[in-house]
Amino acid sequence: MTVTRPGTKASRQAWVAATLADRPVRSQEELARLLAERGMPVTQATLSRDLEEIGAVRVRGADGSLVYALPTEPGGPGSRPGGVGVLAGIEPDPVRSRLSRTAAELLISAEASANMVVLRTPAGAAQFLASVLDHASWPTILGTVAGDDTVLVISRDPAGGDALATQLLALAERRH
């Protein structure tokens, strides 16, 4: 499967976040080089603005050097949706807690068909639930589309809708 990305600001910032998540990056120059190697050339000025906008900060790395890092709370300021995540049945407590709490509060029903799941929420809540799902970076979820009270969740597995609906309902019922 080939992943293509447009040359937009949002895409560029997602690449920056993914690169920071992949490895320790000590400088903007190093980050610019890594992005260029991935086919996303960027100027230092643009990179500086992107780092600020996504909430990247410099922290002490394992070896004591300063490296760029993103905030650690999923769904919080500076966090990013999508990408390779950690929700594969054993996720860190903050992710499970936030997704479980949100699903318990907002999920009315889940119905599956092939690789899709239709989630129903109270009016006005679908976009929030979809955002929490996106930020959870659940590897079996390709993406979400939200309306006012309905979220369409697309599974990576062509027949994964039933399993995904079951997992989401279990989270909502806090049976995980």
Structure confidence by residue, pLDDT tens digits, 74-110: 444 444 454 433 333 333 445 567 888 889 899 999 9
Q: How buried is 62 (Cβ within 10 angstroms: 0-12 exposed, 13-18 middle, 19+ buried)?
A: exposed
Mean pLDDT computed over 40-62:
88
pLDDT at 69: 86
Q: Is the pLDDT confidence value at 144 over 80?
A: yes
DSSP 8-state secondary structure symbol assigned to residue 148:
S
Greatest mean pLDDT among 71-75, 95-99, 115-119 lies in: 115-119
Q: Would you say residue 171 has pLDDT above 90?
A: no
Average of per-residue pLDDT across 65-82: 63
Q: Among 18-22, 69-73, 126-130, 167-171, which stretch is predicted with the lowest mean pLDDT?
A: 69-73
Distance of CA 26 to the CA centre of its chain: 23
| 121, pLDDT greater than 50 | yes
pLDDT score for 95: 55
Structural domains of the chain, with CATH: 9-69 (1.10.10.10), 93-172 (3.30.1360.40)
Residue 39 is given by DSSP the state: T
Nearest to 146 by CA among 161, 171, 128, 158: 128
Q: Is the pLDDT of residue 56 over 70?
A: yes
Do you know the residue count of the chain? 176
At residue 54, the 3 state secondary structure works out as coil
Distance CA 84, CA 39 (A): 19
Q: What SS3 state is found at 84?
A: coil
CA distance 74 to 56: 14
What is the model's pLDDT at position 85? 38
Q: Would the pLDDT of 112 be above 60?
A: yes
Q: For 98-123, give the DSSP string.
A: HHHHHHHHH--EEEEETTEEEEE-ST
Q: Let me know: does 156 contact 176? Beta carbons within 8 Å.
A: no
Sign of the torsion formed by the C-alpha atoms of 119, 113, 86 and 173: positive
